[in-house]
Structure 1
Amino acid sequence: MKTITAAVLCLILFPLVAAAQEPPAALSEPEAAIVARVEENFDASLAMLEEIVNINSGTMNHEGVREVGHAFVEPFEALGFDVDWIDQDDVNRAGHFHAVKKGDAGARLLLIGHLDTVFAKDGDFLEWRRDGDVATGPGVVDMKGGDIVLLYALKALDDLDLLNDAAITVIMTGDEEMTGKPIDISRKALIKAAKRVDIALNFEGGGEGEVVTSRRGSSGWTVTTTGVRAHSSGIFSEDVGAGAIFEMARILDEIYETLAAEEYLTFNPGVIVGGTDVQYDMDATRGSAFGKTNVVAQKAVVDGGLRFISEEQKEAAREKMREIVEAHRPQTGAEITFEDSYPAMSPSEGNEALLAVASSVSEALGQGALAGNDPSKRGAADISFAAPHVGASMDGLGPEGGRGHTPEEWLDIPSVRDATARAALLIYRLTREDAPRFE
């Protein structure tokens, strides 16, 4: 397997980047034809979007997730992709849609989407509604709208015989909103695919004038403290000490004072229980505690999250947290554990080079220049699993909208057409027969 470094990627993309730094040129004849084809297919793309939005695919509705995945089988087979379904029964999830088209022109691409939503089957927010240029419904932006952009960008190219020699892998996961555990099983296929390509593109919802070139990673941490159970009259004495709750307070305060100012690093203690008798369910993030004001607390538990911009930042923060936990108050004990979740999509030279190409496409379409995002304002996503293994990655290529994960989720309908045209031209430029090659 060839390893593509960021430095090599910049050399590979240099001709495209140099062109991107020039004033945007008019679309070439094939590119103008691509945009026209996107327009011709626009109504059909909206009809398919309405169809899949009306299929409930909350993460744990396995049947619904599979039904949405099945809706993409025939369209991708018509584009010449080999399609299969990756079962995820081992992690209690529906599975992943997987499609591959072999070729040798330009860069090898991985295109990423997801089929599931956060909305349960028995909820109230279950169907597509349209009012002029605005649509509402579960997943219209997060991210069934992005899945449609992905498909119809490829369809526009295929309609014009411009996809014949492209090397493209598509994965639409079935559990992005609630990832199956362990991660090494639920994201095995995505990581494996990333290791075989050069560039990864994700189609989560976009923002005006912005794409995602970096995302922070996320992981979990749990602190458990212990103390001597005794009458409160003896607290702070040599035999009784400070108790579990004071020890927990010390740890949280020192973590805050030590790490809170570090750029892009955040750590949130989301749940705390403490007292004489403590029960905590890690999977449900739910607990209960019993105690009395005249009894020194015997146990406390905090469950939290950590977000970081790089693996180096994550590991440095974890080491500092361990040091803080180990410095106990009198007659107390404490331990901290960590659980990996999403890696970081770190800023890179390769991502910046890819941004320049995407921005050139956007300007050529009259959509304006594109800027990279502020990673502190974006959550984790599946692109983060691919990013460490490719030369360049980008997210936020889907349509615009808002209020994701709420019953007010909405989609700007014209942005579906704009995002599809932009994605189609970006894929075209990256997979041309005469495009720079990865060697």
Structure 2
Amino acid sequence: MFTARCAALLAFPIAAAAVPAAAQLSPAEQRIPAAVEAETETVEDFLEEIVNVNSGSLNVEGVRRVGQMVREAFEPLGFTAEWIDMAETGRAGHLVLTHEGSGEGKRMLLIGHLDTVFEPDSPFQRYELDPDDPNRAIGPGVADDKGGIAVLLSALSAMKAAGTLAPADIKIVLTGDEERPGSPLDVARRDLIEAGRWADVALGFEGLSVDADGLEYGTIARRSSTSWTLTTTGRQAHSSGVFSDASGYGAIYEMVRILDDWRSDVREGNLTFNVGVMGGGTTAEIDDRGLAISSSGKTNVIAQTAVARGGLRTLTPEQDADVRAKMQAIVALNLPGTDAELVFSDDGYPAMAPKEANRALLGELNEVSRDLGLPELGEWDPARRGAADISFVSEYVDAALAGMATDGGNSHAPGEYVLLDSITRQAKRMAVLMSRLALQPRD
């Protein structure tokens, strides 16, 4: 088991690893690289164990079991654990781990998730090493986000061994429904938001962004994600009268007008509004999940109803409010004989808006990378990442930084993989960064 092996490792002093001559690591920080490397096999074994337990978002028992395994791994490091049951949202719950430090340094919120997109009926269920590349581990959720949990465990274990964890005030929130959030969302994310109000800094431990050239990036901003439903209506009548004052244009023409005006008149930087499903005719009804539309009609009958549902992604609250107003204004310009209604969902992910404090935190991480002799991280384009749990707390903390976990690929698909050496690399970066944050006075 991880806990026994980890305890054995921590019983031995860790020698300082070789670092570049120009590095400005403190004596305690110099012990971190060797501490990370000493437990590499242990952390990889732990990753294999949790990957081999199915924790699809709807697998309540599986998510709870992984939560218990994680709890048993972190408690020897001095964390107290609390399981937040989420039966009222139809999900398993969340694991909150707390480390009480000196109370003087930056309060850190570390965010990840226990669940995966792979439910028990998926054929993709087991962890394995790529026979052609032993650095590549394949398995459901191995990168998203069980690899992130492995980075957390490796970093915090190294801090413990190096003596830098003691002063650190840390809360870890590992949600059990990130891939398919429970409803209502204000309940499902209530405890995460409470932790965000407590924290000074938030760090998101989902996958590291890496470009085609292998260059690594940090994420200082993420767009929102919400859904909308557009319903248009017209006068059902014989098609020979279409476009006339008496019969009007019908629901489908009104739908097309609105969608095309959005496309041509509302587009701007970092904004997307996708149409995911659409149907229209004499009748058109969308199901309770908003995923399927049943419609029927005849070629000689003007369409009476049309329905479309899609997604909206914005970078800031201001952009979100402005875009919604523009979309509604276009909706109100009805063609003759038609009407339209646009409704935005209440259960959406907010934006992690860019701010200079986030960029400054990335700068601190790059200083850490330089001191460790590792490459610096660039600033990732927010339009290239989806929404995430860190967005719920970014407005409350002084600074937030996402994408702090592993390098991998094929997320959400059979063949998902993680590059194992990225666990070690990221653990070193994050352990030193958190060690420094723990010593920075609160504002």
* TM-score, normalised relative to structure 1: 0.92
The equivalent of 2:42 in structure 1 is 44
Whether the 8 Å CA contact 2:223–2:383 is kept in 1: the answer is: yes
The equivalent of 1:243 in structure 2 is 250
Which amino acid counterpart does residue 197 of structure 2 have in structure 1? K
The equivalent of 1:16 in structure 2 is none
The equivalent of 1:320 in structure 2 is 326
The equivalent of 1:394 in structure 2 is 401
State the Cα distance separating 1:130 from its structure 2 match.
Answer: 0.3
- Give unmatched runs, 5+ long, in structure 1: 1-22
The equivalent of 2:139 in structure 1 is 137
User: Which of structure 1's runs of 4+ aligned residues deviate more than 3 A?
Assistant: none
- The SS at the match of 1:240 is coil
* TM-score, normalised relative to structure 2: 0.91
CA distance in 1, matches of 2:305, 2:96: 47
CA distance in 2, matches of 1:362, 1:102: 27
Whether the 8 Å CA contact 2:23–2:372 is kept in 1: the answer is: no
CA distance in 1, matches of 2:83, 2:67: 8
State the Cα distance separating 1:160 from its structure 2 match.
Answer: 3.0
State the Cα distance separating 1:32 from its structure 2 match.
Answer: 1.7
CA RMSD of aligned residues (A): 1.2
Whether the 8 Å CA contact 2:23–2:373 is kept in 1: the answer is: no
**Structure-2 change in CA distance of 1:419 and 1:280 (3 Å):** same
Identity %: 46
The correspondence of residues 34-433 of structure 1 with structure 2, limited to 5 A, is 34-103=32-101, 104-131=103-130, 132-206=134-208, 207=210, 208-260=215-267, 262-340=268-346, 341-432=348-439
CA distance in 2, matches of 1:256, 1:73: 48
**Structure-2 change in CA distance of 1:282 and 1:254 (3 Å):** farther
Whether the 8 Å CA contact 2:99–2:170 is kept in 1: the answer is: yes
State the Cα distance separating 1:205 from its structure 2 match.
Answer: 0.9
Which amino acid counterpart does residue 121 of structure 2 have in structure 1? D
- The SS at the match of 1:133 is strand
Q: Is structure 2 residue 23 aligned with structure 1 residue 25?
A: yes
Q: 1:438 pairs with 436, 439, 442, which one? A: 442
1:278-303 CA-partner distances (Å, limit 9, x unpaired): 12114151111110100100100010
- The SS at the match of 1:285 is coil
1:9-40 CA-partner distances (Å, limit 9, x unpaired): xxxxxxxxxxxxxx963433211211111111
Whether the 8 Å CA contact 2:28–2:163 is kept in 1: the answer is: no
Whether the 8 Å CA contact 1:24–1:360 is kept in 2: the answer is: no
**Structure-2 change in CA distance of 1:178 and 1:24 (3 Å):** farther
State the Cα distance separating 1:73 from its structure 2 match.
Answer: 1.3
**Structure-2 change in CA distance of 1:161 and 1:25 (3 Å):** closer
Which amino acid counterpart does residue 405 of structure 1 have in structure 2? H
CA distance in 2, matches of 1:235, 1:363: 69
Shifted more, 207-216 versus 298-307: the winner is: 207-216
Whether the 8 Å CA contact 1:227–1:332 is kept in 2: the answer is: yes
**Total equivalences in the alignment:** 413
- The SS at the match of 1:387 is coil
- The SS at the match of 2:172 is strand
Which amino acid counterpart does residue 25 of structure 2 have in structure 1? L
Which amino acid counterpart does residue 110 of structure 2 have in structure 1? L
Which amino acid counterpart does residue 158 of structure 1 have in structure 2? K
Whether the 8 Å CA contact 2:290–2:309 is kept in 1: the answer is: no
CA distance in 1, matches of 2:156, 2:22: 23
- The SS at the match of 1:134 is strand
State the Cα distance separating 1:179 from its structure 2 match.
Answer: 1.1
Shifted more, 269-278 versus 25-34: the winner is: 25-34
